[in-house]
Amino acid sequence: MENFIHFVLSLSAAVFFGIASIVFVVVWVSHFGEGVAWDAGMAEFNWHPVLVVTGYIFLQGLAIVVYRIPWTWRFNKLTMKFVHAGLHLLAFIFAVIAMAAVFDFHNASAIPNMYSLHSWLGLVALTLFCLQFVLGVGIYLIPVTPASWRAAFMPLHVYSGLLLFGSVIAVALMGFTEELLLGLDNPQYKDSPPEAIFVNVLGFLLVVFGALIVWIATRPAWKRPSDQVLPNLRSDGLRVENSNVGSAMAELSNGADGETWGDVRKRSGNH
Amino acid sequence: MENFIHFVLSLSAAVFFGIASIVFVVVWVSHFGEGVAWDAGMAEFNWHPVLVVTGYIFLQGLAIVVYRIPWTWRFNKLTMKFVHAGLHLLAFIFAVIAMAAVFDFHNASAIPNMYSLHSWLGLVALTLFCLQFVLGVGIYLIPVTPASWRAAFMPLHVYSGLLLFGSVIAVALMGFTEELLLGLDNPQYKDSPPEAIFVNVLGFLLVVFGALIVWIATRPAWKRPSDQVLPNLRSDGLRVENSNVGSAMAELSNGADGETWGDVRKRSGNH
């Protein structure tokens, strides 16, 4: 792997900021709030940020970069597809319970549902996340899908996955804003009590986590070797296409901007 | 250009959603609000969303995709770099005036500054936007920077640019949330008065605009031809590196995941 140290530092930092976010959200609801319970009160509402940060954001982030971890390259691609899909499914389940908690709390407290931009974008993101999951399983895990379909859909799969991941973080930041404006009273949010500062820091941690995950996911040199398309270097110095790359994923324009032949050459030399 | 119709549809949709966002923010402050003025009151505050949506977001979005517009390919790369930098500079000026408006309004109304997550992330994003601009000009517009530095910095320049663009939209959505929770009273935000619905729709328009800009910016096939690295197809079917690509930009791993040789081949065939 090219820039292995750089990769390890990036992944370690992402895990650090992800776990720090989880610690912060747990401290938020337990130290500053009422803890968690399924009681239709604020303690039930508190499941909402806890499950979103822990499951929907942290597990989704891990799911996105799981193919990049060199330790996983010993497993075959199908196994790793199941891990990728399984982590996303877990994230989805956390998200659905998180939504149930907030609807239940609203209904018990006679607070309207679905009035805020946070709720609108959150519900659209969850619906599209579900669609992305169903399409991903249908196209990449069910063996009957033709390779040409898999290839054609991959740029959209990668783009949508990263867009949804970023959107979920943005929606969470809007949720923190709502909760601090509605929940803090005497002192209010504008008086900057410790809880306000603490949750602002939590927002920052989540943004850094998201930025690191997107950075890791979009470095071409850090892709799983079977997903990289490697040219062979012939003895006369001309490069020819390596035709035995295997996986359908490898046929794909797998993401955003292109890499140059210089990069491919460097990578080829390192393997 | 590959998929020209798809490109035109994507760009038209982006421009449509961008202009719709501008119309919505102007109607918000003029029909639902007090209009705009520099009077230290709400009409001065109103410059904040108007300038952010019009300049900081819409112009920044155009600046990001300006290299992709085929009509601009008749101009040399240096001209287009000045257009790219000029649009970003304009976006930055709009953003600075937008910040001045809100600080001036807060100070006149004895509202604390910089207490919210919106304000923290907004100020960090603006500082990093300024840093990105200074580094971009220093590295890509000042002719003394070695080509190797330009190449090494390009993946970070592209990543940071898209990350900052997405962050500014996320910060704007948090700002809408704040303004609707603090500004609407009797009926409140939770009662869904017309202004609440209207601004929620504005939030949606901005998200779609952002998603389209990122989509356009991350399609390798839509890059300016001088930024694409084209292999020549030899008569014996082997590909050799095209060494006369020119611009330093073309040496770069210019963005996210790699494209396959199949893509390069297709593109090569189309030119």
Q: Residues A263, B258: contact at Cβ < 8 Å?
A: yes
Q: Provide CB contacts within 8 A for A165, sequence distance 6+.
A: A57, A60, A61, A64, A210, A213, A214
Q: In the prediction, which pLDDT does B256 show? A: 33
Q: Measured between CB atoms, which of A163, A177, A211 is closest to B178?
A: A177
Tokens 């996986």, located at residue: A247
CB atoms within 10 A of CB B269: 9
The C-alpha atoms of residue A204 and residue A212 are separated, in whole angstroms, by 12
Give the residue on B whose Cα is nearest the Cα of A171: B170
The C-alpha atoms of residue A28 and residue A205 are separated, in whole angstroms, by 14
Q: Measured between CB atoms, which of B191, B231, B260 is closest to A229?
A: B260
Chain B residues 200-229 within an 8 A CB cutoff of chain A? 200, 203-204, 207, 211, 214-215, 217-221, 223, 228-229
How would you classify the pairing of strands A239-241 and B231-233?
unpaired
Q: Residues A177, B117: contact at Cβ < 8 Å?
A: yes
| pLDDT, average across residues A2-16 | 95
CB pairs under 8 A between A and B: 191
Asked whether the bond before A143 is cis by omega within 30 degrees of 0, the reply is no
| pLDDT over 70 (residue A156) | yes
pLDDT digits (tens, 9 = 90+) for A182-232: 999 999 999 999 999 999 999 999 999 999 999 999 999 999 987 875 444
| pLDDT over 50 (residue A92) | yes
| pLDDT over 90 (residue A252) | no
| pLDDT, average across residues A129-135 | 98
Helix ranges (DSSP H) in chain A: 4-27, 42-45, 47-51, 60-65, 77-109, 117-136, 147-183, 194-217, 261-270
Q: In the prediction, which pLDDT does B255 show? A: 33
The answer, for A266 touching chain B at a CB cutoff of 8 Å, is: no
Q: In the prediction, which pLDDT does B155 show? A: 97
Chain B residues 178-197 within an 8 A CB cutoff of chain A? 178, 180-182, 189-192, 196
Q: In the prediction, which pLDDT does A93 show? A: 98
- Report chain A's mean pLDDT, rounded to a whole number: 87
State the sign of the Cα–Cα–Cα–Cα dihedral A78, A84, A88, A93.
positive
Residues in B closer than 8 angstroms to A211, CB to CB, are 163
From first to last of the 271 residues of chain B, give the pLDDT tens digit.
Answer: 678 999 999 999 999 999 999 999 999 999 999 999 999 999 999 999 999 999 999 999 999 999 999 999 999 999 999 999 999 999 999 999 999 999 999 999 999 999 999 999 999 999 999 999 999 999 999 989 999 999 999 999 999 999 999 999 999 999 999 999 999 999 999 999 999 999 999 999 999 999 999 999 999 999 998 787 544 443 444 433 333 333 333 332 333 333 333 333 333 333 3
Residue A67: pLDDT band by 50, 70, 90 thresholds? very high
| pLDDT over 90 (residue A264) | no
| Higher pLDDT among residues A12 and B237, named by residue | A12
**With an 8 Å Cβ cutoff, are A223 and B181 in contact?**
no
Q: In the prediction, which pLDDT does A143 show? A: 87
**With an 8 Å Cβ cutoff, are B121 and A207 in contact?**
yes
Output the furthest CA–CA distance in chain A (Å, rounded).
77
Q: How far is B86 from chain A (nearest CA, A)?
A: 23
Residue A235: pLDDT band by 50, 70, 90 thresholds? very low
Q: How far is A35 from chain B (nearest CA, A)?
A: 23
Q: Measured between CB atoms, which of B167, B241, B260 is closest to A251?
A: B260
Alpha carbons within 13 A on the beta-carbon side of B179 = 24
Alpha carbons within 13 A on the beta-carbon side of B125 = 30
Chain B residues 145-184 within an 8 A CB cutoff of chain A? 155, 158-159, 163, 166-167, 169-170, 173-174, 176-178, 180-182
The C-alpha atoms of residue A62 and residue B34 are separated, in whole angstroms, by 46
CA proximity to B167, closest of A156, A198, A204, A31: A204
Residues in B closer than 8 angstroms to A155, CB to CB, are 219
Question: For domain B4-268, which CATH number applies: 1.20.120.1770, 3.20.20.70, 1.20.900.10, 3.40.640.10?
Answer: 1.20.120.1770
| pLDDT over 60 (residue A172) | yes
Domain ranges in chain B are: 4-268
Q: In the prediction, which pLDDT does B1 show? A: 67
Q: Residues A190, B115: contact at Cβ < 8 Å?
A: yes
| pLDDT over 80 (residue A265) | no
Q: In the prediction, which pLDDT does B195 show? A: 98
Residues in A closer than 8 angstroms to B110, CB to CB, are none
Residues of chain A above pLDDT 70, percent: 83
The C-alpha atoms of residue A232 and residue A265 are separated, in whole angstroms, by 9
**With an 8 Å Cβ cutoff, are A112 and B203 in contact?**
no
**Angle, nearest 10°, between helix axes A4-27 and A194-217?**
150
Give the residue on B whose Cα is nearest the Cα of A265: B241
Model-level pTM?
Answer: 0.87
